[in-house]
Amino acid sequence: GAVEEAEKMAQNDPRYFLVRQFENENNPESHEIFTAKEILEQMDYKLDAFVCGVGSGGTITGVGKALKEALPEVKIIAVEPYNSAVLSGKAAGAHSIPGIGAGFIPPVLNTEIIDEIITVKDEEAFEACRQLAHKDALLLGLSSGAAVYAGKIIAERLGVGKKVLVIAPDDAGKYMSMNLFI
């Protein structure tokens, strides 16, 4: 299919480069060096939980590693679709949360840094997006909705005074035709 065609194009034309984000170790490394540094600085090195959807695994692996080194007690929370909860040991399946839940464990994902996995149903992600739009004027995509939904669970569990950071990786641009915010 598409991957094979892209590989053929990259082999035959030096103008093309395949990032291979699911396999490329530069993916988590860049998040370890840059994203985590920004998080630690912005959070003043005070953070109780980091919540992140798992797509390629690069963000949670890189940021998680750096956060654990700087803040050993921080909890790293992975978010995946309920209908394709492969990190939780379930079978891959169809779901409506693009960007997370690829249906396999990505090669760059370091599952050892994950303290907990939260599964989110499609409708929970949709509802979180609607609430963020109507209450906070934030037009975020479904993987962001799933992460925010999971982040609320963690925040409620940890209680007042605890700091929970949620990565919201996508905006609503590609979802406008879905009546997501109505």
What the chain holds in terms of domains, given with CATH numbers, is: 25-178 (3.40.50.1100)
CA atoms within 13 A on the CB side of 110: 19
CB atoms within 10 A of CB 11: 10
Residue numbers of the chain with a pLDDT score lower than 70? 182
Cα–Cα distances (Å) from 12 to 39, 70, 118, 140, in that order, read 40, 44, 42, 38
pLDDT (0 to 100) of residue 132: 96
For residue 106, give the nearest of 21, 36, 167, 166 by alpha carbon: 21
Number of helices followed by number of strands (H, E) in the chain: 6, 4
Q: pTM above 0.85?
A: yes
